[in-house]
Amino acid sequence: MSWGHVKWAHADLRVLIDAPEDAARPGLACHVGIYFRTATWDGRKVQIGGIGGVSTREDCRGRGYATLALNAAIRTLRDHEAVRFAMLFCEPHNEAFYQARGWHAFNGEVYAEQPEGRIHFEAMAPFVFDFTRKPRDGIIDLCGLPW
C-alpha cells in the first residue's frame, strides 16, 4: 500500500506538546491533529471525529507524549455530543500501538474524496474508537479528504 500521493485534509484543531527543558533542543515534541466530519455510515449521515498526523519527535519518544496527546484529542472529540465515534488511519507497524490504546480495526470499506474524485480508500488501515456507536463493518464514506 502506498500513501505518498494522497491529498490529506487540514486539521480543524491540533494538540501540541512542547519539548521538555532537558531535551537536546527546544520546539515541538509531539503533534496530533483533530478533525470533525459529517460522513455517512451505510448511507446514513453520522458525525465522526478524526485523528491524524500523530507524531512524536524522535528524541522525545517513549515519554508518553503520543498517549497523552491522543487522550486529549479523544476527550476533545467526546466533548462534542454529536460525534458518534473517532477514526484514524495507520500503517501496519503502528496497529499494535493503537490497539493497546483502545482502538479497534474497522473491517468494512472506506471511501474518500481525492482531486480525481471519490475513491475506495485503501492506502492505510482504518481504526475506530467507540463513543456512542461501535462501527466494525459496513461502508463509511468520509465525504471529503481523508486525514
Ligand X SMILES: CC(C)(COP(=O)(O)OP(=O)(O)OC[C@H]1O[C@@H](n2cnc3c(N)ncnc32)[C@H](O)[C@@H]1OP(=O)(O)O)[C@@H](O)C(=O)NCCC(=O)NCCS
* CB of residue 123 to ligand X, shortest distance in Å: 12
Helix (H) or strand (E) holding 55: strand 44-56
Contacts to ligand X from residues 67-86, by CB under 6 A:
67
Q: Is 129 in the site for ligand X (CB under 6 A)?
A: no
Residue window 85-124: x/- pattern of binding to ligand X, with contact defined by CB under 6 A: -----xx-xx-xx---------------------------
Beta-strand pair 83-90/44-56 = parallel
Contacts to ligand X from residues 11-30, by CB under 6 A:
30
110 grid coordinates: 472506506
Spatial distance between the Cα atoms of 111 and 144, rounded to a whole number of angstroms: 9
Spatial distance between the Cα atoms of 6 and 119, rounded to a whole number of angstroms: 11
Give residues in contact with ligand X (CB under 6 A): 30, 54-56, 61-67, 90-91, 93-94, 96-97
